[in-house]
Structure 1
């Protein structure tokens, strides 16, 4: 599977679900400063997805959890634990986040998913390298889910 790579706003993509590059869910969501994808989701989609996510508890690095999309026009949000407890990402965390997000998408019947570049924001991973890791993992996957990877262009 070859993903489509675009520049733009993740929350403007036509997809069944979007991926939120999240942390490990150790700190309460309300203590975190709203930034990046999560900040945009909170601002435009409301707090409901994060309240649902809080009930999950700590997430293993690279894992993925699906919540509702709040006020956003998606069937769900797939939250991936793409950064460790030191707020850093790694190639393994990115690969596992992609694999597990696709698994959750299949389980929920999502035909299309839009990803941000995992690990390149708060995770401090080089964006070009993170994108290359994601593309490699997506191309190796055996899925018919349509995937868009969105490079944020508002920096």
Structure 2
């Protein structure tokens, strides 16, 4: 949450289960805790999000211009090659369309997606190499704050 970027990516579910029935964890939990519930109420209005697609919302009270939510895990709570690759591609499409100068990605498919960090990092970096963009991209390994 402390990245010096214009926009952050939130690896979200497909919006099949209402956000208020879930207990957001990891990046989503940190967004809710520090940014409020506004972005989650906004993303809920989009309805079901196809796997690997992305939607943009406000950043709530976080110091970013927006949050890009990606459907990075399937209905079985697993990150797949398809979901990660398409999440990166679709998030970057929004970054380029909106002309954001910088973006921070979490390791999509880890955490609730039950995949390893190296697996996710490899897929993300490989996909980013195929995308033309002027934006600075930061990949963040999320670590929960110690209590």
Fold-level similarity (TM above 0.5):
yes
1:54-109: CA deviations, max 9, x gaps?
A: 10000000000000000000000000000011111111110000000000111222
User: Residue 125 of structure 1: CA displacement?
Assistant: 1.2
When normalised by structure 1's length, the TM-score is 0.91
Higher relative contact order (CA 8 A, sep 6+): 1
Cα RMSD (Å)? 1.1
Q: Structure 2 regions of 5+ residues with no counterpart?
A: none
Q: Structure 1 regions of 5+ residues with no counterpart?
A: 1-10
When normalised by structure 2's length, the TM-score is 0.96
What corresponds to 1:118 in structure 2?
108
Find 1:93's aligned residue among 83, 87, 100. 83
In terms of mean alpha carbon deviation, does 32-41 or 75-84 score higher? 32-41
What corresponds to 2:46 in structure 1?
56
1:18 corresponds to 2:8: yes
Q: Which runs of 4+ in 1 moved over 4 A?
A: none
SS at match of 1:88: coil
User: Residue 154 of structure 1: CA displacement?
Assistant: 4.1
Q: Aligned pair count? A: 145
CA distance in 2, matches of 1:99, 1:134: 9
